[in-house]
Amino acid sequence: MKQVVVLLFLASTFFAFGQIRLASHPLELKKAKEYHQIINTSDRQNDNVFVFATDKEKTTILKYSPFLFFKDSMVTKRPDIGYKLMAGYSFGTDENPTIYWADSNFRSIVAVHYDLVTKTTSTNYFQLPLQRETLLHAFNENNIFYVLTKKNDAEALVLYVFNGGGKTQYLLDFSGFEFVNSKKEPINLSLILAVLPLEKIETRAYNPLFKATSKSKFYVRENDILFTFDHNINETQLFQLDFKTLKLIERNISQFPLKRLNGLSNSYYHENRIYQLTTNDEELHFGYKDFETDAVIKEFSVTKNDSITFKNSPLYAQVMNQRPKAIKTTAKFLKQLSSSDLGVTVYKTPKNLFLTIGGNQEIEQLSTGFAPNGGDFVTNSYFIPLNVYFETVLDKKGNHINSKPEPLATDFIGQFSYENPQAVLQSTFRHKNYYINGYYDTKLKQFVMQKFYDGF
């Protein structure tokens, strides 16, 4: 009985440390759930916190101070239901938001500016030529709403910038750059993006491993956008788009070489360092370099006969959301990893750097039984996800340390979501040095914000 009490105490302590209720506000979203949306975010220029909530009929805006004291609100009729998606937002110097609403195919966008002082709105309408372009991403960064597309008939991307209710666009022409595969055969951007879709990596938040395994990534920084491509095992090819000059600058950073030429590679950018990883079923090389100079700062290498000395967890294999199982040897781990989509993530905790190195794949499962209505005995196949990985902790200087990985805010949020099915339409963002998870409580008819932070 004592052991049960101790376990319950530890579990409750784990959860209590990760969660603090910040604020709540009455909110009732009417029926037609398909129109229910919530965005919880902050104005980066002053840290005011906003809630945008909508149903089929109205839009509710809540404004809070940086310390989550209620400041103001506004309720108004939502745009025509043809603009079904609340796609993004921007903030002006007047501290008022503009919400960008899009139709289902993203060809039509309406920008609605909400003046919380006068309780009035103003609108602008825009069209995107998506019959000639392919939508890649729509995202918010630094108080601005962006739409990124790929031209269907050219080696070029188009970046649409929505700010203050207006729109500007920029052509990112990649036609003058050379792309080659691992065999040094010429390829182009269109082929890369068709096979390896572009993934946005959050620079201020934790990114799960499945996002990091993409070989085509982009990172939005304060003054530029960084595109990285790892289609070639020999190098990471990257492009910087400077917001001031609007020029693309190409760089190539050599990968850590494998003794046997065939294998996998990938990279991850974090705070002016480029982390690179190469592997096959016989060896693994991992390290990081100075982003500006390409100089190697630290490198780790292991063979299938070695123990991985720079890990802070067992070697894990995890099927779907089941409990991870330990892989006993490096050889078995590398064999699984070499059949996966390879990746590494880097996340700064309050004390250290937390890394996950691994990969994901889909494995085939078979089920047998009789077909309905007395039919024949049949065998069906289906695929389920398998992740193989280990965790590593580095100090702020990048040296490996023997420290047990602490739980992350995302772990606490996941636990809360699992235990509270009434908490729907969850919206999470980083605020100061912690995370705010906002949600609609379907039982209490409230919008609630909670604080979650990394570690105990």
Assess contact for 328 and 388: CB atoms under 8 A: no
Other residues' Cβ atoms within 10 Å of the Cβ of residue 153: 8
- For residue 346, CA distances in Å to 80, 254, 392 come to 42, 20, 9
Closest CA to 405 of 456, 359, 354, 363: 354
Please tell me the predicted confidence (pLDDT) of residue 370. Answer: 63
Task: Give the residues across from 358 on adjacent strands.
Answer: 343, 389
Q: How far apart are CA 113 and CA 144, in angstroms?
A: 13
Which residue in this structure is represented by tokens 């067992």? Answer: 314
Q: Model's pTM, two decimal places? A: 0.91
Alpha-carbon torsion angle 38, 43, 46, 48, nearest 10 = -10
Assess contact for 265 and 283: CB atoms under 8 A: no
End-to-end CA distance of the chain: 25
Assess contact for 267 and 277: CB atoms under 8 A: yes
Q: Per-residue pLDDT for 11 more than 50? A: no
Helix or strand run (H / E) with residue 212: helix 209-212
157-201 pLDDT, tens digit per residue, is 999 999 988 999 999 999 999 999 999 999 999 999 999 999 999
Q: Per-residue pLDDT for 2 more than 70? A: no
Please tell me the predicted confidence (pLDDT) of residue 7. Answer: 34
Other residues' Cβ atoms within 10 Å of the Cβ of residue 156: 16
Assess contact for 181 and 187: CB atoms under 8 A: yes
Confidence of residue 36 (pLDDT cuts 50, 70, 90): very high
Assess contact for 206 and 197: CB atoms under 8 A: no
292-332 pLDDT, tens digit per residue, is 999 999 999 999 999 999 999 999 999 988 899 999 999 99
Give the pairing of strands 216-220 and 198-201: parallel
Helix or strand run (H / E) with residue 3: helix 2-18
Q: Per-residue pLDDT for 383 more than 90? A: no
Q: How far apart are CA 214 and CA 208, in angstroms?
A: 11
Assess contact for 115 and 108: CB atoms under 8 A: no
Which residue in this structure is represented by tokens 């794949």? Answer: 361
Confidence of residue 396 (pLDDT cuts 50, 70, 90): confident
Amino acid at 380: N
Assess contact for 388 and 336: CB atoms under 8 A: yes
The most distant pair of C-alpha atoms in the chain lies apart, rounded to whole Å, by 71
Please tell me the predicted confidence (pLDDT) of residue 247. Answer: 93
